[in-house]
Amino acid sequence: MEPKQSIPPILRPDSVTPVSLGTICEKFNFSLNEAHEEITVTGISMNTGDLRHGDLFVAMPGVKTHGANFAAKALELGAVAIVTDTLGKELIGATEVPIMVLEEPRKHLGELAAFVYGNTAGNVPTLFATTGTNGKTSTTYLLDAILRQIGRTTGLTSTAERHIAGEVIVSRLTTPESPEMQALIARMRERGVTDIAVEVSAQALTQLRVDGLHFDVAGFTNLSHDHFDDYGGFEPYLKAKAELFTLKRSKHAVVCLDTEYGQRIVELSEVPVTTISSHKDIVADWKVEVLEELPGLTKFSLTSASGESLVSAIPIIGSHMAANAGLAIVMAVVAGHSFEAIKLAIKDGIDAYLPGRTELISPAGAPAVYVDFGHSPDAFLNTLAAVRKVTTGKVLMLFGADGDRDPSKREDMAKVAAAGCDILVITDHHPRFENPASIRKTLFEAAKELRPELEILEVSPPEAAIRAAVKLVGPGDSILWAGPGHQDYRDIEGVRTPYSARAEARAALKELGY
C-alpha cells in the first residue's frame, strides 16, 4: 500500500518541558552569569531557517562561513541564548542575550539537543539503526513493517520518508542533523511510538548527526564502491561505517556476511554480534534462502543455527532483498521481540511499501518497468540479476550518473550495466554543476569498450530517454531504470527541478497504449 504524503516543515514535538539555562550549564559545564540562569529554552537550532521563538541557537564554524554571522537573525527570530566557540563569541560581539562558549560545539550538539528535548536514557522508544552501502532504506522499511505487523507503533526515518505512527513526511536528508533528529524522536515519543527504525549513512556518523542516540540494535547490510569522493577508498569508508558498532553508539549488532566487509565489521565491532547470510557457503547464526522469485514477489525462508525457522515473502524482487528482510527480522528478534509472534504475523508476507526500490510501476500486459534508487556498481549488479530472473524476454537498462559525486565509480557502473542487459540507454541523472554530456560520454565509452556489439543509446533528457526505452521493448521484456528511485526532483546547476521518474515512466507507457 502506497501511503499518502505530506510535506510540512521540520517537525518538533507539540509540547516541550522548558529547560533552564542553569540546568543546561550544570549538565554541560558552561559558565553563565547568574542573572541568566532562570531563562528557559524550548528548542534548539543550528539553522535560522527552522529556528523558533524560545530556541537555543548553536553557532558553529561551517564550510563557507561561521554560524555566528547569523546570530543577529537568530535573535530577531526569538532565540533566547547562544552556544558558540571562542571565535563565534568574538564575531557576535556585545549582546544582551547570554552567550555560552563551548569549543567544538558540533561534538556536543547531539547530546545538547537530546537533553533539551527530553530524549534521555530510559525515556526513548526502542531504537534500531541500519547502515551499509546498499539496502539501508529497504531494510529500514521492512523492519518498520514487521514491527507494525506484531502490533507495535512505529517511527521511521530514511532517505525516502519519515513515518510517525502512520503519518508520512518526505525526507530532506538520509539522516537529519542532530537537532532535527532529536526533535523528530521527541515528536514520535509524544505520538506513542514504541519502536523507531533509523537509516544511518556514513556521512551521518562522520558528521556526528546521530550523537545523543544509543541504538538498541544496529544492522549492517553490505559495503561496496560508493562515496569515495568523501572517504578516498574502502578502508576509510569501512571505518566510518564501523563507528555505528561501538559501545558509544549501540548495544547489539546484526551483521550480514554476504560481502567480505561483513566479517570486517564483526571483527571491528565493540558490541555483541549476531550474523546472517543468504550465501550457502557462509557460516552464520541465521541463514536466508530464496524459495521463489516472481515479478513483484520474493518468497524466502529464514532459519537459525538452533533450528528456529519461518517462511515469508516480500513485495519486491531479488535475493538481495530477501537478505535485507532476513536482516530486519533478526534485528527485531535481537531487540527482544518474540520470534514466534513475528513468524505468525508475517506468514502471509511482509506488508511493506518500498518507494523507488526496484519498484514495479507498469500495468499488467505492459513491459515490466522497474524504477530503482541504486546508484553504485554493486547495486546495479544485484538489481539487474533480480530483473533478469523474472524476465522471459529482453532486459533494457536505463541510467545516468550523478554530477559532482564520486566520478571514480562511473566506468564500473557503465560496465556492470553493459554486462547485464540486452539494450542500454544512457541518460542524465543529477548533473548538478557538471556538463551532462561529458558524464554521458564517460559512461558510453566505458560500456562500449566492454561490449562493442551491444545496442547502446545516448538520450537526453531522461523524459525522452524513458520514451525511447519503452519503444524498444514489448510485453515480456523489462526495463530497469536505475538511479532516481523515489526522488521527486532533478538537481541542475544548483536548482532542484520537480521531477518524478515513476510518473514519467507511467506517462511513457500510457502514451504507447499500455
State residue 110 phi and psi, 5-degree precision. -65, -45
Sign of CA dihedral 462, 463, 468, 469: positive
Amino acid at residue number 285: D
pLDDT, average across residues 165-169? 91
Q: Are 81 and 183 in contact (CB under 8 A)?
A: no
Distance (Å, whole) CA 199 – CA 474: 37
Closest CA relative to residue 469, chosen from 358, 488, 452, 477: 477
Contacts of 316 (CB under 8 A, 6+ apart): 138, 296, 297, 298, 354, 357, 358, 359
Confidence class of residue 231 from pLDDT cuts 50, 70 and 90? low
- Report the number of secondary-structure helices (H) and strands (E) in the chain: 17, 25
Residues 96 and 111: beta-carbon distance below 8 Å: no
Calculate mean pLDDT across residues 440-458: 98
Cα angle 74, 80, 81 (rounded to 5 degrees) comes to 85
Q: What is the pLDDT of residues 347-393, one digit of tens each?
A: 999 999 999 999 999 999 999 999 999 999 999 999 999 999 999 99
pLDDT 10s digits, 314-345: 999 999 999 999 999 999 999 999 999 999 99
In single-letter form, the type of residue at position 497 comes to T
**Does 121 have pLDDT greater than 90?**
no
Cis peptide leading into residue 475 (ω within 30°): no
Domains of the chain: 19-116 (3.40.1390.10), 126-345 (3.40.1190.10), 359-511 (3.90.190.20)
C-alpha cell at 46: 543550528
Q: Determine which helix (DSSP H) or strand (DSSP E) holds 432, and give its type and residue range.
A: none
Calpha distance 514→507 (Å, rounded): 9
Helices (H), 279-421: 319-334, 339-345, 377-389, 410-420
Instruction: Identify the three-state secondary structure at position 394.
Output: coil
Q: What is the mean pLDDT of the chain?
A: 94
Helix axes 436-450, 410-420, angle to 10 degrees: 50
